[in-house]
Structure 1
């Protein structure tokens, strides 16, 4: 049966007021420490946390009687002494050490050296209070010197001594957990930056307009309606930048419409990119304005249709129907502003127009005279 005494405090920190910042730091580190899970599993009797840690200014108000401090000392398993030249001259720190020594708990005293040297032989450099210097050499306590090993190692050494664990094992796990914490913090910061990037910084739309035919005239005015906002563009085969798109729209749908003379109206729906720039390409399609040559061939004297007349527009040929009507459609790559039109019919004088414009809506009249 384990008759080990249960203490109210894991440790009592004894210090001089000039070293209060060190005492506060050490108390905060000790009370914030969490024993690694693997060590807790292999040593179930070890505490998960080292708290409370008693520090008189934290836990007691002004005017506290020495018997109350002595009670707190008796209820603390360890005494951590913040050793410095200030502490070496403190009667109060010396008395607190003596209480532990008188109770036979010398082995539970942990000197934590923050300044000076033990047994320095000089009052200016001495860091051990008299009660520690009076300890016989065969029982002399080994201090944990922050000046030699640094704050973090010294803090872990205190824990190792309190829990009777190997420092190397505890330090390695502490370093590993510290790296994990840093990695976690870095990941969270990266995540927050991504959130800020996506939802706080305005984006833009880069709109590329492509016109596949340059032999045809461009419209005097072309406009794009993007999500209800109208914008004129002065030239085609260009890149239009729409700035300051609200972050709210990232990933959401947008509506786009293109209107211009000589072109089919273009409407489509897309989605804003999750990135900073949404790339949109408009491949414009010409309407039939410059693709259709149609007309009606008739007898100039009699006004009747001329059937089966041979009509040649550029390099394409057709014949008129019973109504004297013909129609030739040119693909986009062959469309031009004007072409030559030649009409021939036996018994009629040939008809030639060298600069005829296309017309997709109306029939162009072509009167022919008989060859008399």
Structure 2
């Protein structure tokens, strides 16, 4: 690996092919980067020096000392990529050099034609995650969008100055809005000074209307961005959750201002509810249970008011979604009792929607709710309630499933039967447990015979064993013995054929031990089998 310079001299290095289009956009990039004025809160996002080589590289095929030194002392490499770029060995060498410096994660691409596979030089295609660091500004015969280029370059500026991109982008857009507001104020003062008061009133009203529309669009955009990018942002930067809480709270303040100026509409009220859900999500990631629930309840209150007693499909779906998301938040925080409460609320609304609109999407959502309820009840050791939830899910999925013979659907139902059976087993409802272990075993057998997968064979063996044990406890002795012996035979086959680590002997030993308690006349035979398998083990 090439040794990097200790002191960074350049914030960015621009690598490009010396062709007219590439040269023109590169000059514009250079200007925009070095003249970027950072927002007041992010003064450190200041690009001081950018390296751009004006001359073609020498014929010798070796990077000049000047260029190599500039690469070593640059924070970020931005490669201008057009259909002509792959023909330049120099651009490829510059990318390769930056990779050897150990800065692959600081390489960005500015794609000015359509297809990266055509436009990327060979080394750039090998850079991990480059597709997520590709700026797209189409350069057509009519030119390119300067506004789009400025917006895209914010990502390079953030990377070069170690500023959070989302924070910088939002601050920059808000500054732009502030400038528009200031311009409107100056115009208003001029009109007042000119004595054109009626015109001033009309223009002021128009201005505030436009202002509220623009601000509302900005806030919606921010809410959408946070909604789609929040989880990944916090995964990458765990300490970002508190900052996101502040950003989302600020958005609520902006929405309040907009609603004061422009009046409350269903759209803006809905945006505020969505923002509360985002706020709950951010609090969830900080681990604050109380604030998570408070923010979720604010969203639910809004959606309940919007839905009222009506049968409006969208409003009721929003309400169901808010209940469901709150259940997810509570489950994430291990508040399983609260999670069940919200999931059941969601299930009630989805049931209503399913009946009114006959839409399978609501049936699917309802099935997912019951699955979540089953898991949360299981984690609280409420085993009968957990089993009931899984049975409800099974009933719904049967109605939704057209082809019960497909491997995918058989696997889904085998697992669901097994979940329900395990819950009944733990609740000591042995007859019901045996019923669903029997259904699971039947499906696992089919799946195993069709695929010959060892894991499916193992699931079949375990289902047989549990079926036998529950029949034994339910005093159905002959059936119990049949399935326990079958589980031993299949387990032995599993070990010999594919899964040596699976020990059938202990399984059979425990099986026969349980059989001792089934009925007296089999005790001697059971003891003999336990003794036999114990010595084989």
TM-score by length of 2: 0.29
Which one has a larger percent helix, Structure 1 or Structure 2? Answer: 2
Which one has a larger percent strand, Structure 1 or Structure 2? Answer: 1
Q: Which has the higher relative contact order, 1 or 2, with Cα contacts under 8 A spaced 6 or more apart? A: 1
**Structure with bigger gyration radius:** 1
TM-score by length of 1: 0.41
